[in-house]
Structure 1
Amino acid sequence: MDKETEMSYIGLFADTAFTHLMQKRIQSVLLISSSYDAFMLEEDGRIEEQIFNEYVSLNLRYPPKFIQVTTAEEALETLENESIDLIISMLNIGGMDPYSLSKTIKSTHPSIPIVVLTPFSREVSLKLKDQDTSAIDYVFCWLGNADILLAIIKLIEDEMNAESDILEVGVQSIILVEDSIRYYSSYLPIIYKIVFNQSKKFMSEGLNEHQKMLRMRGRPKILLARNYEEAIQLYKKYKLNLLGVISDVSFNREGKKDIEAGVKLALQVKQDDIYMPFLLQSSDLNIAEKAKEMKVGFLYKYSKTLLQELKSFLKYNLAFGDFIFIDPKTQEEVGRVSSLKELQEKLFEISDDSLRYHFQRDHVSKWLKARALFPIAEVIKNLKIEDFESLEASKKFLYNTIINFRISKGKDVIAQFYPDRYDKYVKFARIGNGSIGGKARGLAFLNTIINKNALSLNFENIDVTIPRTVVVGTDIFEHFMDKNNLYEVALSDLSDEEILDHFVKAELPSLSETYLKKFVSVVNNPIAVRSSSVLEDSHYQPFAGIYSTYMISNTDDIDVVVKQVGDAIKCVYASVYFKSSKAYMTATMNIIDEERMGIVLQEVVGHQHENRFYPTISGVARSVNFYPIPPEKAEEGIVNVALGLGKQIVEGGVSLRFSPVYPKKALQLSTPEFTVKDTQKYFFALNMDNSSFKPSVNDAVNLLRLDPKVALKDGTLRWLGSIYDYQNNVIRDGVHYKGIPLISFANILKHDAFPLAQIVKKILQIGQKEMNQPVEVEFAVDLQNAEGRHVFYPLQIRPIVEGEETIKEDLKSVEVQNHLVYSGTALGNGIINDIVDVVFVKSKGFKAANMVKMVPVIEKLNQEILKAKRNYILIGPGRWGSQDPWLGIPVKWPQISGARVIVEAALDDFKVDPSQGTHFFQNLTSLRVGYFTINQSIGDGLIDESFLLQQHTLYEDDWIKHVQLSSPSVIKIDGKHGVGLIEYPE
């Protein structure tokens, strides 16, 4: 088989649409019986309860309701007033015999199946032969077991759904040919019991409880034929989806009893398919020899072990139970598997002779079909060993096919984490039953839309997929808090370090170690331990960047790594109660006691270089560009990318900004001066020395801050690098020159070495369409994947929510000089009229070298204003929240969480681009914080600092002043046109 053909088989799998199966159901049953017969059926409990218990024990849903009446008149009246799907009548009913009643019912309700249930006796059998049973669909014997009711209901449902489920979806079937009421009344409950128990086993192929229940619908259908013509008709119609046939020998053929009808049927079936399982059962022992000659099974009807022998045939010949590999010469067992995962794992252990024997007889595909694994079964059925150059090649193909199917099955699904079945093909799993939190919910949604739009995200030699992820539910957090009595400590005024110490010393729930050990054993890369709180990344109050994220290098003994992951989980839990988190909760009017923390355990994207690990690219893309530079348009979006871990971007460090529509027109690369000055000067990587991680309030405890020259050595600048030739003052794209290495992304943005702009543009379009509002997407890219394929990893999606208030007046036409603050580049929307506090950095005597020293002062003022239950206007130079202390005051969001309006002002000798830090921006926009940028020296807006300096002073030092206005100032922001102003107080 050539490679192209092979890839076409294992390329795309669409798992079965189980929701489309079993569409027609028996929901209500009318039981017509005397009080005595009803009592006999019920014994010591109600029929409905017995059926319900039977359904529950077999993991079945939708048990029907029973309406019991005692007379024909009551039955006819009920049919007029109730919707009935099935009628079961006993022989002894009041007012009319069941045969006449059946005819009467059929005349007005021809589509309702009617079953007559009789006690078993020779006299009853003889009596039935003399009656006109043409209006009765089936007659069954009551043998003292309520299982018969379940078998009747399921037989009728199978008949109703057979054509669509078998022919359209590929569900398998078993044909039972039997005209003896006594025997099919015995066989059917047993067959159904075995089928349902088998279905409970193949439920394990489902990745979560919902999937498991749906897979039950894919069980084989049981079809009953009571004469030769019915049997042939069913066989011809469904033979391509047939597991096997169980047939009597003597039954009607062409209207007459034919003592060899079953033999003739067996010959017909074997002629078409020599390997089709066929079981003859007869009261004539002489048939046994004939069955042996035809190579079909045989059951003696008078055998004391008849039902046990029937069970054995179903289990071993109709692909039920485990798949048993046998040695074709000795017929001895040489291997056994009970799941698709086990088949994959043991495939290369099976001998060639055994595999060839089972392949030639389609045993593997039959077994898979019996387990409702139809797509992969169909591929295997249609491929023969002769198609491959060797048996080893066919094994490899089967192995790859199973992998591909299991990967496709895991897409778009949050699987339940089952330690015994978890492996690298499960993409997204959850531990616990609580909420998975906002971040995990966003990731799950991202996973769904990626798979939903797989065709439009199909780029050559590039995979678009989320990293392997396990989510720990919020119920584990609650159990952890309660078990260790941590709420008192958490809600106290202890320092962050003291709170962290209490959390790290506490014990995680007992099963955690088992689950974590399994996860760690599967993951090869480092592990990120991220927060996913119930409030995080919600539509209106995102908590992006408020809680901690820790990374574990995963390079030590598994027990050591498990302990470190456990400690990191405790650190994230503790971060809910750190001082900054509590301040943020207060600012957002949330109650800290309501917060619940989920955990995202995620494989870190990237590649290892000596003692460091990092992705080639980290980035954040937004579908709305709040600062469009012509020819960019606001609705075309904006992207920020950086080399290394995403900490560089999300905390406001220097990154490269470009429009996905105009990737070659990045402002930062427009001149050599801009490129040298405004591109990334360092990058972050994870320290792979396992001892570098220690539980700490600082979640960056084991991160390395590295020079681009390190990336040049690692080979990652191959795609991202340029060289600054300082002697000639030119930038040369590529890294094969002498000079200073720069992180310019030139080969990607200018020369399309990787279609980053196209992928991001498509992801943003899909995300905005699916969320029905502007979105922000975090991502990482690995261009050094060990398998030779580039991988684009979307990491998170969040909504960007704009304010709902609208400004009626035209702010562009106002007199600029009549306002305290005016900006022609403003972000936000609406009117704020309750602020009297202003905190600002004085322009006189400003030095960039002092910005780090300003942070604790601003934090203290923020806390005091919040404590007084007020908000304030914050004004300062450069980028608020910048990680680079030379670009702006490096505050974190919680340190300025009380600000309702933030102003970034350029000074004559200090001008930088506006803030682009992801977490800063996300909280800014979604919390409806006004954001102004001003550059008075070029006529772009104004700040009347002299007025502010004259206001009532609450605090002042060499750099910062906190003043209080005489009355609230009215703040107006027109988000549509990007204009904002602050009026003078009245």
Structure 2
Amino acid sequence: MSDFSTGLPGLDQVLQGIRPGDNIVWQVDETRDFIPFIDALIYHAAIHSERITYFRFAQHRPPISSAPNLQVDVLDPSQGFERFMTQIHTRIYEAGKGRLYFFDFLSDLNAGCFSDRMVGNFFKLTANLLHAMDSVAYYPVLRDHHCYHATQPINETTQILLDIHRARDCLYIQPQKVSERFSPTLFLLHEWRGEHFTPVKESGHITEVLNSHSWPGLPSASYRLIGDWDKHFMRAEEMLVAQRRGSVTVEQAAVMLDQLVSLAISGEERIQALFRKYFSLGDLIQIWKRMIGSGQIGGKSLGMLLARAILRKRLPATWELLEPHDSFYIGSDVFYTYLIENDCWWDRMEQTRGDDILDGADRTREKILTGEFPPTLVERFKDMLKYFGQSPIIVRSSSLLEDNFGNAFAGKYESVFCASQGTLTDRLTEFLSAVRVIYASTMSAEALSYRRKRGVLDKDEQMALLVQRVSGAPHGRYFFPQMAGVAFSYNSYTWNQRIDPNAGVMRIVFGLGTRAVDRADDDYTRVVALNAPELRPEASFDEVRRYTQRRLDLLDLATNRFDNAHFLDVYPFCDDIPIDTFAVKDRQLERYYEERGVAAGNCWILTFDNLLTNTYFNHDIRQILGALRDAYKTEIDIEFTANFQPDGSYRINLLQCRPLQVKADDAALAALPEIGDDQILLNANGGVVGHSRAIKLDWLVYVVPSAYGKLGERDRYHVARLIGQICQHPELATGKQIMLIGPGRWGTGTASLGIPVSFAEINTASVFCELDSMHEGLVPDLSLGTHFFNEMVEMNILYMAYFGSRQGNRFDPSLLLAERNCLTELVPDSTEWSSVIQVVNANALSTEDKLILHADSPGQRAVLYRH
């Protein structure tokens, strides 16, 4: 620390003091944004009787012309670089150590006498001298005005690099580099109000400020070797300027747009047609400027961008509600380059050949996880991370086939959160690890099995990436959005006759949306029928209390990792959240405490009732779904977050949009025939998801709850693997109708909550039935909206949840247990598990009956009977 100061104590505090030898570069959009900072410096120096030298050499209006302590040295750079440098360095030597200096805009040197390379050379020589002389100097630079040859030497040499932004009639600073200093908020955007520079932590506010000026691309973008791919976009940029002058026709611009869509967006005609309709040439150029590498941006990126463009044209009022985004796209070519550079290409190709696609996959995954990136690519990654600062980001898979018409790949590839709380080196390490994890996930058993099942194993499946700022804000040590969820334009779960399937449905949670799309633990979410949001599947408030969300996913900024916590533990940090919008007081619990003379404490229950009844949120989501469905001309689903502002308004962050394959009930189901009670094995009311059907079963796999419940965790995973072998056995996997009945949740990640099979293991089944007999307090969690649900929809699998306490429900497994168990015939050496897994050949029952499943989705009833 030293006596040097910017004259702004709040800024000194952000930068942890100005040190002898600090060169401070100010990147601004216009001269006026620099003036308040130089005024503060001169005023502070005058009070402390310090002289300042101003090197005047530019044509722009001087930020200040005179002051008692100001010495102005007028120089002429047109006399040549060597003479110009000599004059400045002579003045510095004459003045001695420990002085203050500021320079005219370095950008004027570029506009007048020097090239970008020479501007970089000038700065490097001068800054190194001043650093050695323990002096402090200010250098204003026009942001996005220089190429890599100027910016790179400046960035490498300077001690402090600050971005200045003007938005909302306020000035903001964002430190990009501060040598040998660090704090948990140092690289965040800071708002200057009065004497304070306050970190801006809310994602929507940050993005709005950074989007207040046009985006020119990453600083290192000009460093890339210009090939034909980039030249197309550079020509498009020239054409756009010409079109605005009137020298290029609309038809000519449309031809160029088609070329760019094919290059960077998609080769699928339906997607191309949508982009032609909703995107301009300028829109495509802006996508290019946010790309790292070449190739296409992939399905997840194009879905997000397309949805926003559709709403901009079709629902401008609703589009205004959207939180702006500032995402980056890592091109699909980077993936193939990475594989080739790390000697993984031929290993990966082996996975698409032969019968055993998983042979060698683990070895290939390990090579991908330990690979290295080319230095030029790492530089661009660094630039991107400097842009985001210490805001959390998420790196998302965005492969060419993902989120496309016909293939969702829901949950097949990884997405990785980066809390981004360390130094630039720490953040780069975290980010590169995330990229490797996603690249390696292309070799997972789930992904490869899905590709084979969908018949796309031999199709080009390059992995592009979508890098997004995480929506939300810090609350104490935790970062999360106030709410998140998924929404579907078609509702496959009509538990009440008032529900219109075509109105759509959403599944919402408090905190990060991972809890809305994964079924990972003993918790529940809110399912909302959009035409009747007040309806709940639960019959009473006791059930609401029992089946409410209790834990939320979040980023722990203290430990720098993704985590989860109990809502009641996080609630004390939520004083800036309108908590009564999402939760209600549990009056019964409050009375319980009061009667015992105990302070009521924290008695909130997450119901989302006020959100649905006292805001327009439900209406807005329904409007969004309708507009997107009309544009796509098919059912769709979206992922989103939402955050409420202090004035009561809210912003929706539309994260993802994709076509949804839904087979609606287009024909009336034949009436259930008259059957006796002794013929019924299972009668379930409620919890039926999928289109109605009446099918004759070929096989039934029943996991006996009483036996399974006694198993340890390791044995439960072994049982899951056995079930996978059964379902993939050639005898069952060839178009047979298979029903799975088991306790708890199929596909859970936690063995204590159900059967931890992967979807790839059981994707040959026709029906999943979950019994609420795993343990007291656990009921089947309707998988609506999860990755698990998306896969069921794609495979046209019926889902049933059996609630034993519900009136009229019954389940009698005695007939199943009385039949011959075919387990050992299908999986030899599995005799010890015969009491846990009962495999019934429904075509060879001892009674010569057949097993029929009659499922009425609108009526929310399913009956399994013998006939």
What SS class does the counterpart of residue 875 from structure 1 fall into?
Answer: strand
Query: For 1:216-615, what aligned pairs fall within 5 Å after superposition?
Result: 407=211, 419-420=220-221, 429-457=290-318, 463-465=321-323, 467-490=325-348, 491=351, 499-524=364-389, 525-591=391-457, 594-615=460-481
| Equivalent residue number for residue 822 of structure 2 | 953
Partner-residue secondary structure (3-state), 2:586: strand
Aligned to 1:673, which of 518, 542, 545? 542
Cα distance in 2 between the residues matched to 1:421 and 1:790: 38
Provide the TM-score with structure 2 as the length reference.
Answer: 0.58
Structure 1: 5+ residue runs without aligned partners? 1-320, 326-333, 351-402, 693-701
CA-CA distance at 1:965 after TM superposition: 3.5
Q: Which amino acid aligns with 2:447?
A: S
- 1:183 is aligned to none
Point out the structure with max Rg over C-alpha. 1
2:286 and 2:725 map into 1 onto residues whose CA distance is 45
Change in Cα spacing, 1:933 to 1:504, as seen in structure 2 (3 Å) is closer
Aligned to 2:840: 963
Alignment match of 1:682 (pick from 534, 551, 556):
551
Q: Does 1:742 align with 2:612?
A: no
Question: What pairs with 1:66-145 in structure 2 (closer than 5 Å)?
Answer: none
Q: Distance in 2 between matches of 1:346 and 1:837?
A: 67
In structure 1, distance between residues paired with 2:140 and 2:441: 51
Residue 713 (1) aligns with residue 573 (2): yes
For the structure 1 residues 837 and 642, does the alpha-carbon distance in structure 2 shift closer, same or farther, using more than 3 Å as the test?
Answer: same
Classify 1:737/1:824 alpha carbon distance in 2 versus 1 (closer, same or farther; 3 Å): closer
Q: Give the 3 Å change call, closer, same or farther, for CA 969–548 of structure 1 in structure 2.
A: farther
Aligned position for 1:770: 631
Do 1:416 and 1:431's aligned partners in 2 also have CA atoms closer than 8 Å?
Answer: no
Residue 878 of structure 1, CA deviation: 4.0
Cα distance change, pair 420–829 in 1 and its aligned pair in 2 (3 A): same
CA 1:833–1:742 in 2, change beyond 3 Å: closer, same or farther? closer
Report if the CA contact (8 A) 2:689-2:799 is conserved.
yes
1:877 alignment counterpart: 743
How far apart in 1 are the matches of 2:799 and 2:751? 20
Q: Give the conservation status (yes or no) of the 8 Å contact 1:903–1:931.
A: yes
Structure with the bigger RCO (C-alpha within 8 Å, sep 6+) is 2
State how far apart, in whole Å, the 1-side matches of 2:631 and 2:542 are.
Answer: 41
Q: 2:795 aligns with which of 927, 942, 946?
A: 927
Distance in 1 (CA, whole Å) between partners of 2:791 and 2:510 is: 24
1:526 is displaced (CA, Å) by 1.0
Taking structure 1 as reference, are residues 937 and 617 closer, same or farther at Cα in structure 2, changes over 3 Å only? closer
**Matched position secondary structure for 1:464:** coil
Q: SS at the partner of 1:511?
A: helix
Measure, in 2, the Cα distance between the counterparts of 1:782 and 1:852: 41
Aligned AA (2:306): F
| 2:548 aligned partner, one-letter code | T
Question: Which deviates the most, 474-483 or 621-630?
Answer: 621-630
Shift of 1:783: 3.1
Match 1:793 to one of 649, 653, 656: 653
2:313 and 2:661 map into 1 onto residues whose CA distance is 24
Which amino acid is 1:674 matched to?
Answer: E
Q: Return the offset for 1:513.
A: 0.9
Distance 1:683 1:836 in 2: 41
Per-residue deviation, 1:528? 0.7
Partner in structure 1 of residue 530 of structure 2: 660
Q: Structure 1 pair 883/756, CA: closer, same or farther in 2 (3 Å)?
A: farther
Task: Give the aligned partner of residue 61 of structure 2.
Answer: none
Distance in 1 (alpha carbons) for counterparts of 2:165 and 2:501: 59
- Report the alpha carbon displacement of residue 420 of structure 1 after superposing the two structures with TM: 4.6
- The alignment partner of 1:536 has SS state of coil
User: Equivalent residue for 1:274?
Assistant: none
Q: How much does 1:674 deviate?
A: 2.6
Root mean square deviation of aligned Cα: 4.6
1:551 and 1:349, CA in 2 relative to 1: closer, same or farther beyond 3 A?
Answer: closer
1:655 shift after superposition: 1.3
Residues 742 and 830 of structure 1, relative CA distance in 2, 3 Å threshold: closer
Further displaced range: 587-596 or 825-834: 825-834
Rate the CA distance shift 1:687–1:495 in 2: closer, same or farther, 3 A.
farther
Matched, 1:722 2:611: no
CA distance in 2, matches of 1:762, 1:677: 32
Residue 779 of structure 1 deviates from its aligned partner by 0.8
CA contact (8 A) 2:476 2:573 kept: no
Provide the C-alpha distance between the structure 2 equivalents of 1:793 and 1:483, rounded to a whole number of angstroms.
37
Tell me how far apart the structure 1 counterparts of residues 645 and 725 of structure 2 sit (CA, whole Å). Answer: 46
Gapped regions of structure 2 (runs ≥ 5): 1-108, 114-138, 148-160, 167-206, 224-284, 352-356, 825-832, 845-849
Cα distance between partner residues in 1 of 2:685 and 2:586: 36
* Cα contact 2:486–2:507 (8 A) shared by 1: yes
User: Per the alignment, in what secondary structure is the counterpart of residue 474 of structure 2?
Assistant: strand
- Measured against aligned partners, the alpha-carbon deviations of 1:930-951 in whole angstroms (never above 9, x if no partner) come to 2234457656676663333204
Could you say if the C-alpha distance between residues 823 and 433 of structure 1 is closer, same or farther in structure 2, counting changes exceeding 3 Å? farther
* Aligned-partner Cα distance in 2 for 1:766–1:788: 25
Could you report, residue by residue, the CA deviation over 1:110-164 in whole angstroms, capped at 9, with x for unpaired residues? xxxxxxxxxxxxxxxxxxxxxxxxxxxxxxxxxxxxxxxxxxxxxxxxxxxxxxx
Contact 1:656/1:744 (<8 A) preserved: yes
CA positional deviation for 1:886: 6.6
Distance 1:409 1:979 in 2: 56
How big is each residue's C-alpha offset from its partner over 1:486-522, in whole Å with a ceiling of 9 and x where there is no partner? 1454538578775443212212344321221111111
Q: Does the 8 Å contact 2:745/2:754 carry over to 1?
A: yes
Q: CA deviation at 1:688?
A: 2.3
Decide whether the 8 Å contact of 2:397 with 2:465 is kept in 1: yes
Q: Structure 2 matches for 1:903-922, cutoff 5 A?
A: 903-906=769-772, 911-912=779-780, 914-922=782-790
1:504-553 CA distance string (max 9 Å, x none): 22123443212211111111421111112233223333211122111111
Structure 2 CA distance for aligned equivalents of residues 801 and 681 of structure 1? 31
Shift of 1:584: 3.4
Q: How many residues align?
A: 578
Shift in alpha-carbon separation, 1:509–1:426, aligned structure 2, 3 A: same
The 3-state SS of whatever aligns with 1:760 is: helix
Displacement of 1:780 after TM fit? 0.9
Contact 1:607 1:784 in 2 (8 A): no
Q: Is the 8 A contact 2:492 2:690 kept in 1?
A: no
Give secondary structure in 1 for the equivalent of 2:662: coil
Question: Do the aligned partners of 1:806 and 1:974 also contact (CA within 8 Å) in 2?
Answer: no
Distance 1:811 1:493 in 2: 45
Is 2:704 the partner of 1:861?
Answer: no
Q: Which amino acid aligns with 1:797?
A: C
